[in-house]
Amino acid sequence: MGNCFAKTRDDGKNFKVERAGVNRLVADFQEGGFTQRVHIYSRQDSKVVKRGTVLLDPGNNGPNLITDDAMRYVHGQPTGPGITIRTYDGEESELGGEVKLCFSGPGPKKRYYEETFRHVPHIADGYDMVLNHDFHVKVYPKMIPTMLMIRAGGKKESEGIICLEHSLGII
């Protein structure tokens, strides 16, 4: 068995594994997460670039994920066996082997990152990648989600933090 990293809830705030012929990984916004356009690069051919969307999800304590289509487009070569994950509701799902890929934001000042991903058949809402908590901490160590801060009138200072509840409740 692999690591538990998902919890199914009816409110759509967390990862959810569905059984509809093929297992699909459905990702909705986590509190504090955000999306960004991204360029995914082929390690074999520098002219092959996939433009897509990534969800940076600080609530995901599991592996980074990439869709099979995005991985194949940039000629990604998975290595090693897949893993089985189990959600808190007891469902099991298979994730593909590891694939190492390079990606960056689309702007003129590009910062390139190389991370290891597990490939999945589908990620909901058209995302091509999901980056986990470890990536979020490494790249944005001082970032506090703005939804946790209250602003008084036009002031730019924070009044306090409303809630510090971890949305996944992973132990």
Domain positions in the chain: 16-161
Please enumerate in sequence order all residues whose Cβ is within 8 A of that of 73, keeping only pairs 6 or more positions apart, or say none. 40, 48, 50
What is the per-residue pLDDT across 43-99, written as a single tens digit (0 to 9) for each? 888 889 999 999 888 777 788 999 999 999 999 988 888 888 776 567 787 888 899
CA distance 36 to 133: 16
pLDDT digits (tens, 9 = 90+) for 129-155: 999 888 877 887 666 454 443 444 444
Residue among 91, 83, 31 at smallest CA distance from 62: 83
CATH of domain 16-161: 2.40.70.10
The CA-based dihedral angle spanning residues 136, 140, 143, 148, taken in that order and rounded to the nearest 10 degrees: -10
For residue 118, the cross-strand partners are 65, 98
Whether pTM > 0.85 for this model: the answer is no
